[in-house]
Structure 1
Amino acid sequence: MEKITIVRKAQQEWMEFKKAVELEGRTGIAEITPNQHGRSWRPPIEGVYLINTDAAISSQMIRTGKGIVARNWKEEILKAWTIMEEKIGEPGLVEAVAIRTATQLGKEVGWRKLEIQSDCKSVIDCITTDSCNNCSYAIILEDMQKLGEFFDQCNFSFIYREGNEVCRLAKFTLNLVNYVY
């Protein structure tokens, strides 16, 4: 079962990458520098809190891990959360839950302007468009719409994996016993 999950995740990420490259080609972008298109982390505009999320799955350990890091426009890390659950999960669904959790945590802290980034393009696309065909995300997306009413501004964006340093935190989380804040 583990090999199938790994292969599916790799296929999903490859298709997301291939689609992104095709879209870049169609828009006439000749050369992509490291700071373009979410390939490296950049601070948000002043007054906005940027929250990066990632999820990891270990079918061997029967665990999922979520890493969430919040920074301000001064590039200061303000908060970091790790959440480990003893269960197996579908990669996109676990990523969607990580994004919803980041949104909830931003609300709990009282931030009114958020930018939430994830390296899971399929989930970000479901959030940012009205046409999501994945019914397993439906409840999560509905929760996020209700959460969005709290904020003055709440944007969701895709960042390439190499720009999302939180992926290391999510993998680390798999080895934890408890939630860490």
Structure 2
Amino acid sequence: MPMARWVRDEVLNQPADFVDFLMNDYLMKNGFKQTERKGEQVWKEGDGYFSMARFLKYSYINGVLHLEAWVGLFRENALKGFAGSLPKKFYRESLEELLRLLHQPIPQNGMDQTGQPVVVQVPDHSGPAVPAMVLGILGIAIGLLIPIIGVILSGIAMSLGQRARNSSKYGIARSAVILGTIGMVISLLNWIGGIILNFLLF
């Protein structure tokens, strides 16, 4: 087994349909699609260019959930390390929250102790998605005029977008990451161009 993968074997002893429900909810919200990679069936999200490619593989046998997660389109990278540290951190935290919610008690009759229907908690971090999109657009627009502010806004947009990729607003969040990346490039090019122009003129 590749050592670059984040691997967990979690003893849940939960009903298989409950585990399938939470796993499918997580995969759908995060935009994962099933694909074949190097001869094994895995779940993949991200193109590896504008947004970091994330991979997930899991199985649930005899009450034990086996998880393998990694990032990187061309080579497997663990969910730690300096390169891409922020998206790795958010991805790892989302998986740890998923494991926590998989342990929530599920009464057999679907009712809690007061006789009310049990509401299953599911992971969702959709709050930053829309603000990230707005900041990404502003980062591009302002980056053409004031590069330093464009860099700041684009950086915040990328950070918030990465966090919201683990949510039901995955599509908006991913767009925010792309816009933030474009805004960052435009702002930096404008900044460097301004420095070169000043040097040539003065």
Is TM (by shorter chain) over 0.5?
no
Give the TM-score normalised by the residue count of structure 2. 0.26
Give the TM-score normalised by the residue count of structure 1. 0.28
Q: Which has the higher helix share?
A: 2
Q: Which has the higher strand share?
A: 1
Using CA pairs under 8 Å that are at least 6 residues apart, name the structure with larger relative contact order, 1 or 2: 1
Higher-Rg member (1/2): 2
